[in-house]
Amino acid sequence: MHLIVGLGNPGRKYDGSRHNMGFEVVDEVSRENIIRFKASKFSAYAGEGYIGLLKTVLMKPTTYMNRSGEAVRDFVRYYKMPMDELASKLIIVYDDVSLPVGRIRIRERGSAGGHNGIKSILYQLETEDFIRVRVGVGGKPEQMALSDHVLGRVKGDEAIELSRSVLIAARAVEDIMRHGAGFAMNKYNVSEETKVKKEKKEDKAEDRGDLLE
């Protein structure tokens, strides 16, 4: 079983904020796979279903960001997920101010990088070994507090770009489940500039007849 967790803050006042990208990605996965959320006996909305043939639980903690780990811990215990399976079966999706808008980055382990939701999960699970899908929301403008940046609503062109990122991140989650984190990292952990260069190189090779069908 896979446990897919989107991080965010509950309540309408946080809808559309940068800090709720995890919620939005998991919502997209639920729509694509017809997995319905409902209130759980723990502090989260959750839904059980299948992505392809893979049993999946989607979860959105309602503890607020800095206590996300409490809900994740409770679900890991409830489903009796062995600790050695978390590295491949637990996927956490969240916003990242260190990545530009439009980029996503997948990691198999590591520190919190200053993200309070991940700090809470690391503390509660006592392991760094779980998969992260980070959705870039861009750094804060100068003279703006970080909290105002991540909790502010996204508008205009940035909102369009972030909506695109949500769709890509949802596909990345499914690729991780079906093909593994390594496959997904090779596919998604590249910049648009690198993608363009690769496509141009392949086009030139095709023109020379280096590529065969």
Angstrom distance (rounded) from CA 72 to CA 16: 23
pLDDT band at 202 (very low <50, low <70, confident <90, very high): very low
- Catalytic residue (choose from 2, 19, 115, 149): 19
How many of the other CB atoms lie within 10 Å of CB of 213?
3
pLDDT band at 87 (very low <50, low <70, confident <90, very high): very high
pLDDT the model gives residue 207: 53
pLDDT the model gives residue 142: 77
| Residue position matching structure tokens 């940068």 | 18
pLDDT the model gives residue 143: 75
pLDDT band at 29 (very low <50, low <70, confident <90, very high): very high
Angstrom distance (rounded) from CA 212 to CA 206: 8
| Residue position matching structure tokens 């079906």 | 178
Q: What is the mean pLDDT of residues 98-125?
A: 94
- The helix or strand, by DSSP H or E, that contains position 107, with its residue range, turns out to be strand 104-107
pLDDT the model gives residue 201: 58
How many of the other CB atoms lie within 10 Å of CB of 147?
10
Ramachandran angles phi, psi of 90, nearest 5°? -105, 120
Residue partners of 108: CB distance under 8 A and separation at least 6 = 87, 129, 131, 132, 181, 185
Q: Is the pLDDT of residue 1 over 70?
A: yes
Identify which of 7, 3, 6, 13 has the alpha carbon closest to the alpha carbon of residue 170: 6
The answer to whether 149 is a known catalytic residue is no
pLDDT band at 146 (very low <50, low <70, confident <90, very high): confident
Residue partners of 73: CB distance under 8 A and separation at least 6 = 124, 125
Two tokens at 38?
């409902």
Q: What is the mean pLDDT of residues 66-94?
A: 96
The per-residue pLDDT for range 163-193, each reduced to its tens digit, is 999 999 999 999 999 999 999 999 999 755 4
pLDDT the model gives residue 212: 46
Q: Residues of the chain with pLDDT > 70: what percent?
A: 89
Domain 2-208 fold is Rossmann fold (3.40.50)
pLDDT the model gives residue 94: 97
Q: Residues of the chain with pLDDT > 90: what percent?
A: 73
Q: For the whole model, what pTM was predicted?
A: 0.87
The per-residue pLDDT for range 89-99, each reduced to its tens digit, is 999 999 999 99
pLDDT the model gives residue 213: 42
Identify which of 19, 29, 122 has the alpha carbon closest to the alpha carbon of residue 69: 122
Q: What is the mean pLDDT of residues 46-63?
A: 97
Identify which of 45, 48, 50, 49 has the alpha carbon closest to the alpha carbon of residue 7: 45
Q: Is the pLDDT of residue 155 over 50?
A: yes
What residue ranges do the domains of the chain occupy? 2-208
Whether 54 and 42 have beta carbons less than 8 Å apart is answered as no
